[in-house]
Structures are given as structure tokens and as C-alpha cells.
Chains A and B, each alone.
Chain A
């Protein structure tokens, strides 16, 4: 009963504070919105790139170029053996002629030059498709090393490209962490400062509350609630803005880039991420107010 009453008074006072300090509240919410928007845009970018990589990762292909001395029969025997490896899900044989044909098709301009050579310079190859969950450079590399043999001229699995992409994604992840850290500290600082300004505007009230026997918690909790409400509002505003921006960008991608990017789709953040952003905003608000309340209100201390 008493606890219920306390909660009611504390919540009412928190909202009274917000009403009486509209300007400061708007400033704080705007700061949280901007930092959460920056961070969540970054998260959206990272999320989509990681998704894209996963899609491409599914299609990791290993091309084994065979020496000209290897006959098709021998090649098919090697292929059958390779298929027994659990990493391999599919394989196909591309003869020298087929390689030439596809090369000429994809680069029509140079077809004449190859004709002039009189011989077919392209090697026959075995194309392997690797298991989905092998989308990790170290695992692919280990597999490729394990199958190498004399008959192979070269083994290529676009290693450089995948590694670069992973490195880029790593860089993105670390920049994201650093960015999140910077934005969070800046937000916490600004929230604590604005809440502190709110405190100074209400100093008289604290003295009076102490006078009538309010405990430290009774004085502090409304400010913590205020911080949480501001964080929640800021984070939700950021998500709404992010969604609007996403719709606009998505529209542009739909008409243009989508064709080029093929199967890769630009998706909005899943609900678990959105919930995380909201919780993060509330956490920032709470942390900001805890820091300022701790410094300003010292009830019962001499």
C-alpha cells in the first residue's frame, strides 16, 4: 500500500519535473536521439554488410586449375575423390574448351586475340562449392592446403577478396564499438549536465524535501525516472527517424542498385536490435541521471 503510494508520488514528481523543464528535456531528448540515430545507422550498415557477406560466404567457390597433362578421365577421378571431403557440397568439371567458351562470352572484345593465338591457353578446372558454415578464411585456407596435389596448376578461391571483406567488416565492427563508446560517453555527459541544470533550477525544493524528512531515494528516484523516460523517448525517436531514412534509401536501392546487387537485400534492423537500442537509450538516460544525482543531491550528509 505504502510502496504503491511511493511509486505513484515518485512517478508523478518525475513527470512534473519534465513538464516544468520542457526546454532542458527537449535538449536532452534531442541529444539522445542524435547519438542513437548515428549509432543505429551504423548498426544498420553493419548488419546489412554482415548479411551480405554471409550470403556471399554461402557461395564460396574453389577453382582448381589443372595441368594440361591431366586428362579428363584423371580429372574426374580426382573430382570423385574430392567429393568425399565433407567440406565439399558440389563439384563440376570445366574442360579447356568450356573455359575458353565462357571466357570469350564474358569478354567478347578479347575473343579475337585468343583466336589469333591458335592454341587454347586456358586450363581445365574443377569447380568446388564449399559447405555454408565454412565461410571463414582460416577454415577455407586449411581445406585448400589439404587438397593440394601435383596435378594442380593453381588453386584459387578468391582468397584475397574474402579476406579483404572480412578485414573491412572487422574494421567496421571496431569502428562501431569506438563510435558507440564515444557517442555513449558524450550522451551520458550531456544528459548528466542537463539534468544537473534541472537540479539547480530546483535546489529550493531539495532543501524543503529534506526538511520534511524525505529520504535520499525519495529525492533521487524522480530524476532517475526522468533520465529513463528521456532515454526511452530519444531512442524511440531515433528508431522512427532511422526507419524513415531506411524507407527512402530502400526506395532508391529498389529502383537502381538492387538489379546489380542481385540476391542481396537491404533489410531493416530486426526487432531484437531495436529492443537493444531502446534499452541502450534508457541505460544512457539512467546513467546520465545517476551521475548527476550522485554529485548534486547529498541528503543527510554533513
Chain B
């Protein structure tokens, strides 16, 4: 599902953020990516959803070499990849419903179907009753659930989560992780980047450790 071969990434010449990264994440897997802040976790995720391109090496998403993709075809690849961030990235002036609907609107989904699927996914994250509210009126955990709902509403093959519990208290953290596992159980490949060792130890999924730009399995 996600493969990397000898991937290097540098923003400034001579300083590699990622060095000779090789990894393989299979279809339907749940994988943790860990490492201290600045280890390159976010950069690695950005390579996976094509927000960045590798300086050298191969990145294959669903067997497609992203280096060969043209800029105009990247949006179509992204539609297969849901992304969740620590800071939620919700549009504050749009309702919960509109935030989630955005992921379907870019596909040109008919309005009635958008209505049905958004409400379904909000139900699955337990926020169906808050669909008219605006992000600033929600708690951190609720905002993250909206972000997850947006990431999965179009049934992506892959879900990337960058420190999804970074801003949440322990109870909320468990809630969000349960949600991510549910999504994984339904067949979505999930990759969670976190520096929180307690989560990793508790859940015992395969873990990729990133240290100074290198992967240790």
C-alpha cells in the first residue's frame, strides 16, 4: 500500500531530514511511526500524501510512483488518502457538516448523497447531533473527531494521522485511538505518527522508529 525505497529528503542542500528511508506498509495494516520531535515524522507523512516530493529515492502509494505523477494528477491521488493533523485543520467559519462535506464536494458528489454520507460518518464518530455547530464551539476531542470524519468520509484506502492525540487529554486520546482502530477494522490502512510511547506500548501494533532521519524497524 505504501512503499519507500532509499528515500532522501532535504530542504537545505547538505542537510538531510530523511536518510535512506525504506519501508513497507501493507494493505489493511495499522502502523505507528514514532520518534522525537524533529525526527522527520511529519516530513515522511508529507511525502506520503504528496505535499512534498522526495529529493531522491522512490515513494510508491498503491503501487504508483509519486515521482512520476504530474502536479495536476496529485489531487486525484490525495482522494485515496485521508489525513488528520494535531491541529485539526478545520475551517472555523464553516459548520461541522460543511467541513466534512468538503471532502465529498471536491469529488462532485450529488447533494443528497453528501447529506447522507456526512450524517453517517458523523454518527460513526458520535457527532451527528453537532452537525450545525462551528469548530470553535467544540472541544479538542470533538474537533479531532470532525477532522477524522472528514478524512474518512470518502472511504480512502489510507488514513495518515500526524500526532492526532497531541492536543488531547488521556480520555480523549483513548477515544480517538479506538476510532482509528475501528476505521482500520473496516479495511483502511492506518498510519499514526506519534511521539507518545504510552500509546504505542498499549496498543502493540507494528512500530516504525524514526531517529535522525533514519527508520529503525
User: Is A215 a contact of B111 with CB atoms below 8 Å?
Assistant: no
Q: A84 near B: Cβ within 8 Å?
A: no
- Min CB distance B77 to A, Å, is 8
A257–B103 CA distance with the chains assembled, in angstroms: 66
- Which of B74, B76, B103, B106 has the most chain A CB within a 10 Å cutoff? B106
Q: Does B75 contact A (CB under 8 A)?
A: yes
Closest to B73 in A: A300
- A197-224 interface mask toward B, CB cutoff 8 Å, 1 = contact, 0 = none? 0000000110111111111101000000
A20 CB–B CB distance under 8 Å: yes
Which positions 1-34 of chain A face chain B at CB distance < 8 Å?
A: 1-3, 5-6, 8-9, 20
Contact A6 to B93, CB < 8 A, known contacts A209-B102, A216-B72: no
Pairs of residues from A and B, 9 with the lowest C-beta to C-beta distance, nearest first: A300-B71, A213-B79, A2-B108, A213-B78, A212-B103, A214-B106, A300-B74, A5-B108, A215-B75
State in angstroms the CA–CA spacing of A219 and B50 once bound together: 18
> How far is it, in angstroms, between the C-alpha of A301 and the C-alpha of B72 when the chains are bound?
9
Question: How far is A5 from B107 in the complex, measured between Cα atoms in Å?
Answer: 9
The answer to whether A253 has its CB under 8 Å from any CB of chain B is no
Bound-state CA distance A139–B91 (Å) is 70
Bound CA span A11–B51, Å: 27
Q: Are the C-beta atoms of B89 and A300 separated by less than 8 Å?
A: no
A223 to chain B, nearest CB (A): 16
Check if B52 sits within 8 Å of A302, measured CB to CB: yes
Question: Looking across the interface, which residue of chain A has its beta carbon closest to that of B101?
Answer: A9
- Cα distance A300–B50 in the bound complex, in angstroms: 8
In the complex, the chain A residue whose C-beta lies closest to that of B72 is: A300
Also in contact, A204 and B89, with CB within 8 A (given A9-B105, A215-B75): yes
B127 to chain A, nearest CB (A): 18
Interface contact B75-A210, CB-CB below 8 Å: yes
Kindly report which residue of chain B lies nearest to residue A301, judged by CB atoms: B71
The verdict on A213 contacting B110 (CB below 8 Å), with A208-B91, A302-B53 known, is no
- Is residue A45 contacting chain B, with contact meaning CB distance below 8 A? no
> In the complex, what's the smallest C-beta–C-beta distance from B10 to chain A, in angstroms?
13
B108 close to A212 (CB less than 8 A):
no
How many A-B contacts are there with CB distance less than 8 Å?
A: 67
Q: Taking chain A's interface residues, is the majority helix, strand, or loop, or is none over half, making it mixed?
A: helix
Q: Check: A299 CB closer than 8 A to any chain B CB.
A: yes
Which residues B30-49 have CB closer than 8 A to chain A? 49
Q: Is the CB of A215 within 8 A of B89?
A: no
Q: Which residues of B in the span 88-134 have a Cβ within 8 Å of any Cβ on A?
A: 89-93, 102-103, 105-111
In the complex, the chain A residue whose C-beta lies closest to that of B91 is A205
- Contact present for A214 and B89 (CB under 8 Å): no
Known: A209-B102, A211-B49, A212-B154. 18 other contacts (CB 8 A): A5-B109, A5-B110, A9-B105, A204-B91, A204-B92, A208-B89, A209-B106, A210-B75, A210-B78, A211-B78, A212-B150, A213-B79, A213-B103, A215-B72, A299-B75, A300-B75, A302-B52, A302-B53
Q: How far is the CA of A3 from the CA of B107 in the complex (A)?
A: 10
Q: Is the CB of B106 within 8 A of A213?
A: yes
State in angstroms the CA–CA spacing of A299 and B90 once bound together.
19
Report how far A298 CA is from B213 CA in the complex, Å.
28
Q: Is there an interface contact between B108 and A3, defined as CB atoms closer than 8 Å?
A: yes
Q: Does B18 contact A (CB under 8 A)?
A: no
Give the one of A3, A5, A208, A216 with max B CB within 10 A: A208
- Rounded to whole Å, the gap between the CB of A252 and the closest CB of chain B is 50
- For B92, the closest partner residue in chain A by CB is A204
Smallest CB gap from B90: residue in A: A208
What are 14 A-B contacts with C-beta separation under 8 Å? A3-B108, A204-B89, A204-B91, A205-B91, A210-B75, A210-B78, A211-B49, A213-B79, A213-B106, A213-B107, A214-B75, A215-B76, A216-B72, A302-B71
For residue B158, CB closer than 8 A to chain A, the reply is no
Within 8 A of B (CB), among A276-302: 299-302
**CA of A57 to CA of B83 in the docked complex: distance in angstroms?**
74
User: Which B residue's beta carbon lies closest to that of A300?
Assistant: B71
| Cβ contacts under 8 Å, A210 to chain B | 51, 75, 78
Contact between B111 and A218, CB atoms less than 8 A apart = no
